[in-house]
Amino acid sequence: MKIETKFNVGDAVYVCRNDSTYEEEQCKICEGTGNVILKGKSFCCPECQGNKFTYTKKVRRFTPEIRTIRKVIVSISNSNGNIQVHTRYETKLNHHGSIAEYRNIMFATEEEAEYRCKELNGEIIKVPNAMMIKEFADRIKVSPAEIIKWLFLRGKAVSNNSVISFEDMKEFADGYGFICEKEEEESIDG
């Protein structure tokens, strides 16, 4: 039995490295001062205990990174006459010296890895051919007023409930570092 693998030992591949971090949020009670003033007296904020921040939230961030295949592991199973081949690739991390395992997240080109990282980072937004401005604003987390202003400067008078075309969504989102792609339309079988 001859088994073909996608990658071989020594091949350079690209992976999506998880560079997620934690981001602090300013305390809403003391507005980031660490103190509250009551009747002219300053007290340590009861919400953040003077730290100025209430909590940290995890911000997912993936970046492409080049690795080298160090080991290809192939396993074969036979279940009720169906032969299944499973392939696993391992790379060695230079700075840790440990083995990392990757399944379905290795790419032959940096462009493929960059695209997948953008998907994981939420920078690629699937939108229909047209949608209301306020719905589009919610998806890319900007103020509807920003979109309305942008359209107005292009000679289009609109409101929150106006419809924005795919072409306009794509162009606007590009300025904010997002990529708009058309949603796949569901076919209706009659």
From first to last of the 190 residues of the chain, give the pLDDT tens digit. Answer: 788 888 889 999 998 888 877 777 888 888 888 888 888 888 888 888 888 887 777 777 888 989 998 888 888 888 888 888 888 888 866 544 334 445 457 889 999 999 888 888 888 888 999 999 999 998 888 899 999 999 999 999 999 899 999 999 999 998 888 889 998 765 555 4
For the entire predicted model, the pTM comes to: 0.60
Phi, psi torsion values for 128, nearest 5 degrees: -75, -175
